[in-house]
Amino acid sequence: MTAKNSKGTELFVGTASGVDADSYLDGVAQEQISDVSFPNSASHRFTPGDEKPEADIADRDWWISTDTGQTVAKTFDLDAQPQVLVIAPANSDDSLEGTTVSLQMRVKGVFALSLLGIAGAIILAGFSVFFFMRWWASRIRPPKKDAGRPDISGPEGGGPAGGGSGPHDGGENGPSGGSGRSGRGPAADHAVKGEPGPATQPISTVQPDTAGQAPPRRRDLRNRRSFRAVTASVLGTGLVLSGCANMPIAKPSSPDTTPYERTAVRPGEAGKFMTNYTESLDKTLGDKGTDLDKIQAAPLIDHTRAQIQIADKAKQKLRAPNFTEVVAGSPNFTEYPMWFYAFGTADKKSTDGDKQLTQVMLVTRESASTDPLVRSASYIPADQMPTLMADDSGAVEEGPEDFADDMTTASDDVSSFLVDGKAKSGGPDGLKEGGFKGFRDYVGDLRDKDSGFDKVDVDCKPYEDLKFEDMTLSTENGAIGMGEVRCTLTIKAPSDYALDLGDTVEAVKTNDKEGDTIKVDTAHPYVLMRTGDELTAVATDWNVLSSKVE
């Protein structure tokens, strides 16, 4: 397919899976070409809509191949995986006015097969003419006569058969007249009258010394002639039909363009996504959060913004982790919105501590016009990384329905533990470890008598703006999901005390009001895993989000 613009407009051509192209062009004015019949027929229709897509066409990450120029071309195999080819102005403010699109089909082996076909046709024609001429000649050629045939006059005419002129007849001029009337018998009388009889049978049916053998039959000759006629007819018919039949060459048929299948992260792209995300996050952290909303969304973006403020207050530099191994899984392949889990084993130098950790990220994508957004991120020990079970298409089955119930119950159990430090019977394991324990220790320090605070209250509840329970995956021995709890600390100091909670809380203050009470909002992301009948919640850290004085 080739597109040319006569007005100098820069064109863009790209190939993509249909699920991406359909989502990206949804609601956009477009001309759709389909059902191409070579050499000069194509079905197309115009779909009205907006003048241009929401996002710049060249910035989309799902293009399989792209090219730009005043003349763009794409060669593709119709037998390959179905794709959609999109032609658009490279600059979204331009139009396709003056653009001509042409299609050509390249079929391999036509010349060589044509020569073979011509040679075969000539051979068949030669055989047909040869057998036809032999058959025709056999019809008009007279039978050959036997040169040594004896003269037969009848059973009484003398000689071996009783006819002819013997010595006793006197010869041709002898006294008896040679062929006198006395030499005629009944057979001779029939001959004179022209009636058939033994003396008038064709000589070809009576051969000397073969009286005791069956005479050859005339129908044998007819059979041979019939065989030649049939052979010539068959070859001639084959020659005629060979010109009507399809030659055995590659002739592409109309490809099945639906349904379009595309993994949320195609094979080989999980590592690319994580690499791009890490590079973008590093750049954003260095720019104090500029364009952070292009790669993250709530609830994670709240954590990152707070960390940037805290690092700036403490004169520290944040960095994104590096990953040595990446795995991604999702049950959603054929439609937007999409979501998937990404698991990246972090380099030991990228995280604090001696244990190697695996970062678990929940990523969503609303449409092909938007970028993937990381919604939640937390760490688990690398040795606790579960095995994902994917089917032939790469899809990972969603977690079972009862695991969604476990997610809801576990979020309440985590909230309760963060409030009072008591793990309920039947709740998930791991509540007294990691980030859960770290928060309880922080609350205990605030409540210590030496802290000087009169009162420290804790109120916690599950994060409700993202339905974590609807986004879970099955694993080899159970299931995995993510969750988050938000807490509010209410800290009251004596009226004669100066309120000082350190750089962390001061860095995220949202007001400058004077007072003796401060409220601190915190976030507690975690990973919930089921292994057999065992349910475990894992949190490696917790985050301060904001504070205000009342």
User: Which tens digit of pLDDT belongs to each residue from 384-423?
Assistant: 999 988 877 678 999 999 999 999 999 999 999 999 999 9
pLDDT at 499 over 90: no
Choice among 162-176, 423-437, 516-530 with the minimum mean pLDDT: 162-176
Residue holding tokens 């899809």? 395
Q: Which long-range contacts (CB under 8 A, 24 or more apart) does 306-311 make?
A: 306/508, 306/543, 306/544, 306/545, 306/546, 307/543, 309/507, 309/508, 310/503, 310/504, 310/507, 310/508, 310/544
Beta bridge partners of 323: 346
pLDDT reported for residue 344: 92
Written as six digits, the tokens of 108 are 């391999």
Q: How far apart are CA 353 and CA 349, in angstroms?
A: 9
Residue from 503, 483, 473 nearest 418 by CA: 483
pLDDT at 154 over 90: no
Which of the four pLDDT bands, split at 50, 70 and 90, describes residue 262?
A: low
Choice among 131-145, 197-211, 510-524 with the minimum mean pLDDT: 197-211
In degrees, rounded to 5, the angle at the alpha carbon of residue 536 between the alpha carbons of residues 530 and 541 is 130
Q: Report in angstroms the alpha-carbon separations of 89 from 45, 104, 159, 505, 522.
A: 19, 22, 113, 51, 48
Written as six digits, the tokens of 56 are 């710049």
More confident residue, 72 or 61: 72
Which of the four pLDDT bands, split at 50, 70 and 90, describes residue 136?
A: confident
Mean pLDDT of 79-102: 89
Mean residue pLDDT across the chain: 80
DSSP 3-state assignment of 504? helix
Phi and psi at residue 13, to the nearest 5°: -130, 135
pLDDT reported for residue 224: 57
Q: How far apart are CA 72 and CA 105, in angstroms?
A: 16
Helix axes 110-140, 219-244, angle to 10 degrees: 160
Task: State pLDDT tens for residues 329-346.
Answer: 888 766 788 899 999 998
pLDDT at 169 over 50: no
pLDDT at 525 over 90: yes
**Order of strands, edge to edge, in the sheet holding 373-381?**
323-329, 338-346, 357-365, 373-381
Could you count the other beta carbons within 10 Å of the beta carbon of residue 32? Answer: 11
pLDDT at 193 over 60: no
* Percentage of the residues of the chain whose pLDDT score is greater than 90: 48
Continuous segment of H or E residues that includes residue 483: strand 478-492
Residue from 277, 528, 276 nearest 412 by CA: 528
* Percentage of the residues of the chain whose pLDDT score is greater than 70: 74
Written as six digits, the tokens of 49 are 């809509």
More confident residue, 506 or 136: 506
Which of the four pLDDT bands, split at 50, 70 and 90, describes residue 356?
A: confident
More confident residue, 231 or 310: 310
Cβ atoms of 403 and 381 closer than 8 Å: no
pLDDT at 227 over 70: no
More confident residue, 480 or 182: 480
pLDDT at 164 over 50: no
pLDDT reported for residue 309: 95
CA 188 to chain centre: 97
More confident residue, 81 or 454: 454
Choice among 259-263, 362-366, 506-510, 532-536 with the minimum mean pLDDT: 259-263
Rounded to two decimals, the pTM is 0.70
Residue from 547, 455, 444 nearest 502 by CA: 547
Q: Report in angstroms the alpha-carbon separations of 8 from 73, 94, 203, 324.
A: 16, 11, 96, 47
* Radius of gyration over every alpha carbon of the chain, rounded to an integer in angstroms: 50
Written as six digits, the tokens of 486 are 């938000």
Tell me the H-state helices in 141-218.
Answer: 186-193
Residue holding tokens 């001029």? 173
Could you count the other beta carbons within 10 Å of the beta carbon of residue 385? Answer: 18
Longest dimension (CA), the chain: 186
pLDDT reported for residue 230: 55
DSSP 70-118: SEEE----TTSS--EEEEEESSTTS--TTEEEE-----TTHHHHHHHHH
